[in-house]
Amino acid sequence: METLYKMLTYAIYGVWALFAWDTVSCILNYISNPERYAVQSAPWYTEILVSAVYALVLTGGLLLVRRLVKNKL
């Protein structure tokens, strides 16, 4: 059970690392191609906001499972 708890903790870190990578990628893409985003009706940072919601939902689910595992220990 302890290894599962640690794996869930690393999964949470991984979710936020992927979110950080996606955010940096989106910002660099906007800096290099601003004309691509000029024709879109949504702002350039909409992708970052959607990724943040996904990261929060995944983190919430992982925290819930992690708490259940901790209570079983």
Q: Are the beta carbons of 55 and 16 closer than 8 angstroms?
A: yes
Label residues 28-42 b or e (16+ Cβ within 10 Å = b). Answer: eebeeeeeebeeeee
pLDDT, tens digit, 9 for 90 and up, residues 18-42: 999 999 999 999 999 888 888 888 8
pLDDT of residue 36: 86
pLDDT of residue 20: 97
Query: Hey, which bits of 1-73 come out as E strands?
Result: none
> Does position 73 have pLDDT exceeding 80, yes or no?
no
Reported confidence tier of residue 1, pLDDT bands at 50, 70, 90? confident
The domain spans of the chain are 2-72
* Contacts for 55 with CB less than 8 Å, ≥ 6 apart: 15, 16, 18, 19
Please give the structure tokens belonging to residue 66: 């992690």
Entry pTM: 0.85
